[in-house]
Amino acid sequence: MTALDVQDLTVDFAQRGRVPFRAVDRVSFSLHAGRTLALVGESGSGKSTVVRALSRLVAPTAGEVRLGGARRTRGKEYRRAVQMVFQDPFASLNPAHTVGHHLIRPLLVGGRARRGADAEEKARELLRSVNLTPADDMAHKRPHELSGGQRQRVAIARALAPGPEVLLADEPVSMLDVSIRLEILGLLDRLKDERGLALLYVTHDLATARHFASEVMVMYRGEIVERGPSDEVILAPRHPYTQTLAAAAPSSAAGRERARAARAERLAARAGRDAERREAVVGDGCRFRPRCPYAMDVCTRRPPETEVGPGHRSLCWLRTDTNDSVVGFSA
């Protein structure tokens, strides 16, 4: 069941005295109940702006965002249905308030509980659902008394309080210690199953994206450059950018000799190009062109989105023509 449908979402940011900066460019996707979609990209790719537009913190310039079914998409109903978890658990809780306050307010605002004992009991239930026990003690603590992982659990509980159908998680574990990350991702995964949430997992980490999401979208400078089933996209990437990303991820299982060989290969591949070009800005056409090892003349025009496998699409000129088998993509 489609929980949220996004069509041609575009976000421009005004720049003083210059043309607006397009942070998100015609992005379309849908989120489905009980499934996780990962949005992968580096900083500046626009992935956080997508989340902010969906949570109505920034106004989209163009495009449509609709809740599943024939429901109203404006105002209160949308606020209740779409919630988000922020990246930094140290900034997302108000130092002036108790954990209980953080849960009771959204419960009351969303009309999920009555003021008083009812709200308190529901807040304790939320705390238990994110494994913050004893819930009574936790409700009275202030953020500075909690560890990063505990804070992120509170933030997740707060996002659950209005009873959302869509949960947007913006790099929910990147600020946490390594040993805690999987616990939090596991918690999100469990809550998704239990509550039938449609989860958008925004991350720069390909490995967790693959493990926790059924589908992956890769974003580069405001555009979705590749999307498809997570194993397809990450193990057999078609877009040169996704290939670069996958090659850059550390792989402890690959073994040191292979890592060394891969490094020599990367250095050799890069030696030909100069460092400046990789930092350059592009106008029209494929945005990855200046960094792309396979850049061709045709890349100055905007590439089409092409089906490269079942449900697997790539925004690239390569392989758009069946005769054009210039590059072997075997991963």
Q: What is the C-alpha to C-alpha distance for residues 288 and 302, in angstroms, rounded to an integer?
A: 11
Which lies closer to other proteins via its Cβ, residue 274 or residue 297? Answer: 274
Which lies closer to other proteins via its Cβ, residue 13 or residue 307? Answer: 13
Tell me whether strands 223-229 and 215-220 are parallel, antiparallel or unpaired: antiparallel
Using the rule CB under 8 A, is 16 a contact of other proteins? no
Nearest to 79 by CA among 188, 159, 192, 195: 159
Q: What is the C-alpha to C-alpha distance for residues 97 and 49, in angstroms, rounded to an integer?
A: 28
**Least distance to other proteins from the beta carbon of 284, Å?**
22
Output b/e per residue, 199-230; b: 16+ Cβ within 10 A.
Answer: bbbbbbbbebbbebbebbbbbbbbbbbbbbbb
Q: Which residue has the tokens 């990063």?
A: 148
For the chain, give the longest Cα–Cα distance.
Answer: 69
Q: What is the C-alpha to C-alpha distance for residues 331 and 246, in angstroms, rounded to an integer?
A: 10
Q: What is the C-alpha to C-alpha distance for residues 58 and 121, in angstroms, rounded to an integer?
A: 34
**Least distance to other proteins from the beta carbon of 26, Å?**
23
Which lies closer to other proteins via its Cβ, residue 270 or residue 297? Answer: 270
Which lies closer to other proteins via its Cβ, residue 137 or residue 321? Answer: 137
Segment 185 to 204, residues that bind other proteins, using CB under 8 A: 185-186, 204
Segment 35 to 74, residues that bind other proteins, using CB under 8 A: 42-43, 55-57
Using the rule CB under 8 A, is 267 a contact of other proteins? yes
Exactly one of 1, 249, 261, 326 binds other proteins (CB under 8 A); that residue is: 249
Judge contact between 227 and 313, C-beta under 8 A: yes
Segment 80 to 139, residues that bind other proteins, using CB under 8 A: 80, 82-84, 86-88, 91-101, 104-106, 108-110, 115, 117, 119-120, 123-124, 136-137, 139
| Number of residues near other proteins (by CB under 8 A) | 88
Which lies closer to other proteins via its Cβ, residue 27 or residue 154? Answer: 154
**Least distance to other proteins from the beta carbon of 265, Å?**
10
Exactly one of 71, 72, 74, 76 binds other proteins (CB under 8 A); that residue is: 76
Using the rule CB under 8 A, is 266 a contact of other proteins? yes
**The token pair that represents 325 in the structure block:** 């088998």
Segment 285 to 314, residues that bind other proteins, using CB under 8 A: none
Which lies closer to other proteins via its Cβ, residue 288 or residue 317? Answer: 288
Exactly one of 14, 235, 296, 327 binds other proteins (CB under 8 A); that residue is: 235
Which lies closer to other proteins via its Cβ, residue 140 or residue 301? Answer: 140
**Least distance to other proteins from the beta carbon of 69, Å?**
20
**The token pair that represents 36 in the structure block:** 């996780």
Q: What is the 3-state secondary structure (H, E, C) of 248-282?
A: HCCCHHHCHHHHHHHHHHHHHHHHCCCHHHHHCCC
Q: What is the C-alpha to C-alpha distance for residues 300 and 291, in angstroms, rounded to an integer?
A: 13
Judge contact between 53 and 42, C-beta under 8 A: no
* Stretch near other proteins under the rule CB under 8 A, chosen from 22-30, 61-69, 272-280, 312-320: 272-280
What mask of x and - would describe binding to other proteins in positions 150 to 179, judged by CB under 8 A?
x----x--xx-xx--------------xxx
Q: What is the C-alpha to C-alpha distance for residues 120 and 126, in angstroms, rounded to an integer?
A: 10
Exactly one of 62, 254, 261, 327 binds other proteins (CB under 8 A); that residue is: 254
Using the rule CB under 8 A, is 243 a contact of other proteins? no
